[in-house]
Amino acid sequence: MIMKRAVLKGSDVNGETQVKAYSENENSADPTEKTIVDRIYRAVMEQRLAPNTKLSEARLCETFGVGRMRVRRALLLLSSQGIIDLQSNRGAYVACPDKSEARDVFDARMLIEPPLVKQLAQKSDGTSLRILSDHIALEDAARARHERTEMIRLSGEFHVKLAQAGGNSVISRMMRELVTRTSLIVGLFGSSDTASCPDDEHTKILNAIHAGDARRAEKLLIAHLNHIQSGLDMDARKQPPDDLASILGPD
């Protein structure tokens, strides 16, 4: 009976991307900064908030039903993690990573995730692995139902849970940031629709971990990241929907 999950949802109304939440019922108690940050994180991960989308304070205030202070604090936190770009006197815009930033994010993941998975395969915890397989089940279900945004989100969240399985809160936080920024990058540099799904690669990785085959798990993950990266065209960044293009329509 989980139905009224209040999500930050983006829809196109008169040519402008809108951001809403608490549309049906505002029974949720005072969203704190943390809540706002989480919602925007989620929206970015699901690629419903496109890069360069403006997040005006007023809009967010009425969206979350909070004062300006909360919103500004949330925006500051988001900007400190590279999720949004806070331009002085101009407002907050969903980050629009350039080639260099994209490389940095991927390189960071290449540096961190392989040893993480390797270590996970060496000393695996039963319950945490169970969480991972449960998660993959969710991914499969979403894929079967062709729920695009849910697939994208779950696909990224797998890597976060991979970090969480390691039981290190510091690493977990870093991975969450990296994965979210990756979503932005994929949205910007991704070739058409191939951007979404890594198919059963997650399953293979988890199997290797389960088998305790550290070396294989590591290699599979590297291949997986490379696979994601190869789906990008680093030299052809899509025009961010800042200027007329998105409003005038693709004609």
Question: Considering the rule CB under 8 A, would residue 203 count as an interface residue with a copy of itself?
Answer: no
208 near a copy of itself, judged by CB under 8 A: no
Q: Closer CB to DNA, residue 58 or residue 170?
A: 58
Residue 111 lies near a copy of itself (rule: CB under 8 A)? yes
Q: Which helix (H) or strand (E) holds 18?
A: strand 16-20
Binder of DNA out of 34, 68, 130, 227 (CB under 7 A): 68
Among 108, 138, 197, 222, the residue binding a copy of itself under the rule CB under 8 A is: 108
Cα(9)–Cα(11) distance, rounded to whole angstroms? 7
CA 249/CA 214 separation, integer angstroms = 49
The b-or-e profile of 54-90 (16+ CB within 10 A means b, else e) is bbeeeebbebbebeeebbbbbbebbbebbbbbbeeee
Strand, coil or helix: 142: helix
Q: Which does 115 bind (CB under 5 to 8 A by kind): a copy of itself, DNA, none?
A: a copy of itself
Alpha helices for the chain (secondary structure H): 33-45, 57-64, 68-80, 99-122, 126-144, 148-165, 169-189, 201-211, 214-230, 245-248
Binder of residue 68, out of a copy of itself, DNA, none (CB less than 5 to 8 A by kind): DNA
**Binding of DNA by 72 (CB under 7 A):** yes
Distance of CA 99 to the CA centre of its chain: 18
Least Å distance, CB 192 to DNA, is 30
- Cα separation, 113 vs 130, whole angstroms: 19
Phi, psi of 109 (to 5 degrees): -65, -40
DSSP state letters, 165-186: HTT-HHHHHHHHHHHHHHHHHH
By CB under 7 A, is residue 89 in contact with DNA?
A: yes
Of 185, 184, 159, residue with least CA distance to 172? 159
**Tokens standing for 251?**
């004609």
Applying CB under 8 A, does 101 fall inside the site for a copy of itself?
Answer: yes
| 129 near a copy of itself, judged by CB under 8 A | no
Closer CB to DNA, 21 or 165, in the complex = 21
Closest approach, Cβ 16 to DNA, in A, equals 11
Closest CB 170 distance from a copy of itself, rounded Å: 4
When the beta carbons of 35 and 119 are compared against a copy of itself, the nearer one is 119
Is residue 107 at the binding interface for a copy of itself, with CB under 8 A as the rule? yes
99 binds DNA (CB under 7 A): no
Footprint on this chain of DNA (rule: CB under 7 A): 54, 56-58, 66-70, 72, 86, 88-92
Footprint on this chain of a copy of itself (rule: CB under 8 A): 33, 73, 76-77, 80-82, 101, 104-105, 107-108, 111-112, 114-116, 119, 168-171, 174, 178
